Amino acid sequence: MSIYRYCKNLLAIGIAFASVTAQAQTTVLTVKADKPGAAIQPAMWGIFFEDINFAADGGIYAELVKNRSFEFYEPMMGWKEQRDGGATGRVLVLNQSATMPSNPRYAHFVWDASQGSYTLANEGFRGIGIKKDMQYNFSLWAKAPEGDVKLKVELLAANGTPIGGTDVTISGNDWKRHTASFTASATEPKGKLLITFQGKGTLDGDMISLFPNDTWKNRPGGLRADLIQLLADLKPGFVRFPGGCIVEGHELDTRYQWKKTVGNVESRELIVNRWNTEFKHRPAPDYYQSFGVGFFEYFQLAEDIGAEPLPIINCGMACQFNTSEVVPLDQLDPYLQDALDLIEFANGGTDTKWGKLRADMGHPAPFNLKLLGVGNEQWGPQYVERYIVFASAIKAKYPAVKIVTSAGPSPDGPLFEYLNPVLRSLNVDFIDEHYYRSPEWFLKNASRYDTYDRKGPKIFAGEYAAHTEKKVQPENKNNWESALAEAAFMTGLERNADIVQMASYAPLFAHVEGWQWTPDLIWFDNLRSFGTPNYYVQKLFSLNKGTNVLSILAGNETVAGKNGLYASAVVDNNTKEVIIKVVNTSDKEQAVDIQIPGVKKASAAGTITVLKSTNLESVNTLDNPFNIKPAEQAVSLKGKAIKSTLPPASVTLIKVKAL
């Protein structure tokens, strides 16, 4: 790339990236390895999962059929009937809400295909991703009121070619789950499912479902393995779930109610996804929540990947960006009960009502919930009033559970200025600060926590991402500019790990065709997925979190922006390693001389890992997923020092076995 292009990129972000004049100048950084500071919490770097951008249905939930139970507002959305060659056929949608309120609708088919064919096709979530030689598991709930019925079930490629299928016979007039498996003969990113009704007959059908066999941990009806593997690879300290604004709902009626997301999948009540209508510029009329991924699955996911579960519950407030509905204080009891019951579901003995449900779902052992969020991005006195009610009830019954409180949607401004001191005066456990800001903001705020009250509440940086254009604009990119700024900011979080005890990027996932919000950490289509540069920054910190903070100084100053350099250091008492992270946001190479006077051994092997790009606009894509990825090289301590040259616009991690 030309120098002009490079400079243009740097200039494009204005004051953000310092221009270093003298390349020859060496910055001496001193790491006090013999004076370990605050302990770094094992949960420090975590993930935040919300069902936005098709993250759950159409994303981690491996179900391939959209609107499988005909419960979308338009009951046949995602489905298409076709009659050919003189066949007749029709579908009637029945609503049995009086007897089955959680899954009221089913489809009643009547057809005569003695000649021609009557078919029903499902389009999947922006198509169905199909893999050659993979086993697919089809199921439906059905009854045949007028005698045996035969269905031909097929997967079709985008051009209409059948690429696998099977026959299913339905007999009897009782609702039963029927299953059949088959193997696909070709790979296809945009397939569809076709059901052909044979002969003549009638059928009642519901929960028409198709899963690939290769789910995460091979669990039937489980999660998409490649996406979960990307999460597991981060070795996250916690999983915050299920949101986000989704907890609040556009209005209280569509808030997240965890009790409706557990038990048999066919009894989980589908609701609209609040991101369905949120952005006019990214409408998603087919975005609903089937809750195939519900609270049991979230707890199980956290356990699978070695993370602490951090559920967020609704505190009687709908989204304040939308309806702002609140529940009167004297009517909060059901909401409170949901919170208390959730703790019982996670931790209670199998002799308790909710602990028993957990056991019945296959997990008799507790999930060891220690953290609970009360509300998402709430603000104002109405939040404080509700928080007080929740905190006193939760602490009275479960004093060991730490509560995470909202600090509102922004890290400054009137909403924050009101809430922050009030929460501090209430001595809350954790304050959850959110920042969706420019890269410049992240650079300037790398020292935000250096001056925070050390005795006050702990900080949870629960949602953050550098937005390269404007907050929540479709032009925002997961480019190197944003990832570099986040890395610089994260050195500030790490340096202040005594008070900033948890942090998570947001949002986590986005389907390349189904997204509403950008940027996002991991992108995917129906078959492929990739980590953004921001993902590799998160991974670098998470996999190298250490056990204690070490001081790293240039002279007497923290390394938080001078010459465009940002740095933090930790020690890992388990591996006996000193780990140093240095971010060079300038447009020049910079020489650093890292002195580690406290180390006992004068020379020990280690590694340098570098993430870099000379183009701040560089991104990873489905076709070029590793455009920006870490590269490793050997390093050795020389006389208790490491001399290194930091490339322009780079994140460098230096790890030495040195204790």
Task: Find residue 584's DSSP bridge partners.
Answer: 565, 650
The SS3 call for residue 458 is strand
What DSSP assignment string belongs to 187-253? -EEEEEEEEEEEEEEEEEEEEEEEEES-BGGG-TT-BBHHHHHHHHHT--SEEEES-SHHHH-SSGG
Q: Does 463 bind ligand AHR (CB under 6 A)?
A: yes
Residue from the set 17, 45, 50, 606 that interacts with ligand AHR by CB under 6 A: 50
Round to whole Å and give the CA distance between 30 and 381.
Answer: 46
Compare residues 50 and 572 and give the one whose CB is closer to ligand AHR. 50
Q: Which residue is nearest to ligand AHR (CB)?
A: 244
CA distance 121 to 338: 39
* Interface pick for ligand AHR out of 164, 242, 507, 564 (rule CB under 6 A): 507
Question: Considering the complex, what minimum distance in angstroms separates the CB of residue 112 from ligand AHR?
Answer: 49
Site for ligand AHR (CB under 6 A): which residue of 20, 31, 33, 52? 52
377 is catalytic: yes
Report the C-alpha gap between 518 and 236 in whole angstroms: 22
**Cβ nearer to ligand AHR, comparing 50 with 587:** 50
Q: In the complex, what is the shortest distance from the CB of residue 307 to ligand AHR, in angstroms, rounded to a whole number?
A: 18
Regarding 59 and contact with ligand AHR (CB under 6 A), the answer is no
Amino acid identity of residue 398, one-letter, is Y
The nearest distance, CB 48 to ligand AHR, in angstroms, is 7
Please pick, from the candidates 244, 355, 439, 648, the single residue that binds ligand AHR as defined by CB under 6 A. Answer: 244
Q: Should residue 519 be labelled a site residue for ligand AHR when binding is judged by CB under 6 A?
A: no
> Rounded distance, CA 605 to CA 638, Å?
10
How many residues bind ligand AHR (CB under 6 A)? The answer is 12
CA angle, 217 then 220 then 223, to 5°: 55
d(CA 121, CA 225): 26
Stretch that binds ligand AHR, among 121-129, 149-157, 243-251, 480-488 (CB under 6 A): 243-251
Q: Name the residue nearer to ligand AHR (CB basis): 129 or 244.
A: 244
Whichever of 212 and 409 has its CB closer to ligand AHR, that residue is 409
Q: Please calculate the CA angle 614-619-622 and round it to the nearest 5 degrees.
A: 140
Residue 51 or 123 with smaller CB distance to ligand AHR: 51
Mark 401-420 with x for binding to ligand AHR (rule: CB under 6 A) and - for no binding: --------x-----------
Least separation in angstroms between residue 274's CB and ligand AHR is: 9
Burial annotation 80-99 (CB, 10 A radius, 16+ → b, else e): eeebeeebebebeeeeeeee
Q: Does 310 bind ligand AHR (CB under 6 A)?
A: no
Q: Which is nearer to ligand AHR, 141 or 460 (CB)?
A: 460
Contacts for 502 with CB less than 8 Å, ≥ 6 apart: 41, 43, 44, 46, 237, 238, 310, 430, 458, 460, 461, 462
Q: In what order do the strands lie in the sheet with 430-437?
A: 47-48, 238-241, 308-313, 371-374, 402-406, 430-437, 458-466, 500-505
Residue 506 within binding range of ligand AHR, rule CB under 6 A: yes
Closest of 223, 244, 250, 248 to residue 305, by C-alpha: 223
Q: Confirm if 347 and 354 have CB atoms less than 8 A apart.
A: no
* Nearer of residues 124 and 507 to ligand AHR, judged by Cβ: 507
Q: Which is nearer to ligand AHR, 471 or 643 (CB)?
A: 471
Which of 308, 377, 486, 577 is flagged as catalytic?
377
One of 16, 156, 239, 245 touching ligand AHR (CB under 6 A):
245
Please identify which residue in 196, 376, 447, 584 interacts with ligand AHR, judged by CB under 6 A.
376
- The smaller minimum CB distance to ligand AHR, of residues 60 and 659, is found at 60
Rounded distance, CA 589 to CA 21, Å?
A: 10
Q: From CA 255, how far away is CA 656, in angstroms rounded? A: 49
| Residue 377 within binding range of ligand AHR, rule CB under 6 A | yes
Query: What's the CA gap between 637 and 269, in Å, rounded?
Result: 60
Shortest distance in whole angstroms from residue 340 CB to ligand AHR = 24
The reply on whether position 309 binds ligand AHR by CB under 6 A is no
| Least distance in angstroms from the C-beta of 374 to ligand AHR | 14
Which of 36, 46, 164, 243 binds ligand AHR (CB under 6 A)? It is 243
Question: Which are the catalytic amino acids?
Answer: 377
Residues in contact with ligand AHR by CB under 6 A are 50, 52, 243-245, 376-377, 409, 463, 506-507, 517
